[in-house]
Amino acid sequence: LDFYGRPTEALWFHISRLDRARISFFLNTAWFFHMINLVFILYYWNYIDTQIWPGAFLINMPALLSIGSVITGGVLQGKAEQKLIDAQPERFPPAPTKYIKEGFHEWRTGKSGKPLMETIKAKLSDFEDTYGDKGGPSAGMGLMEIKVAVPSSKSDV
């Protein structure tokens, strides 16, 4: 069920509650540490203060913790999603990164005979042809498109 109690096929809502809590914790600590970092940047604003104790520590430590938290959250989410994709391949299509990696490998080995970007676009086109019926209208994001469900009327909301 989604945030409103409606059934959904969105991958996020099929991740276990404990895993979602862990992922959310790390992603939220990332922005929290980032805000602390910004406060210290404003307090120790001139160059020399950022290079000596305690400014160097107070600016860099929250930044490193923020980066570590966001990477940890992303890795946990990726592993949880991949576990679901592996367990139910008929329900959840492979991630577009699988096709990007295949395209890169074909380009690297010379099998594609095309430039890298054309090879990756062709692979993502294969992804779209195979799994394009999943979801609603698409929202473009650079090399890939994300399918989004859009209610057709107020009664669907």
Note whether 49 and 55 are within 8 A (CB).
Answer: yes
DSSP 3-state of 1: coil
- At 50 the pLDDT is 83
Q: Report mean pLDDT in 10-residue bins for the chain, 157 residues.
A: 85 94 98 97 89 93 98 96 92 88 92 90 86 53 50 58
Confidence (pLDDT) at 140: 43
Q: In this predicted structure, what is the pLDDT of residue 142? A: 44
Stated pTM of the model: 0.71
Q: Provide the 3-class DSSP secondary structure of residue 151.
A: coil
Query: First and final CA of the chain: distance in angstroms?
Result: 14
Residues 6+ apart with CB under 8 A from 38: none
Residue 121's identity, in one-letter code, is K
pLDDT (0 to 100) of residue 152: 59
Peptide bond into 137 cis (omega under 30): no
CA distance 44 to 39: 9
The predicted structure's pLDDT at residue 138:
45
pLDDT (0 to 100) of residue 22? 98
Query: Which stretch of DSSP H or E encloses residue 144?
Result: strand 144-147
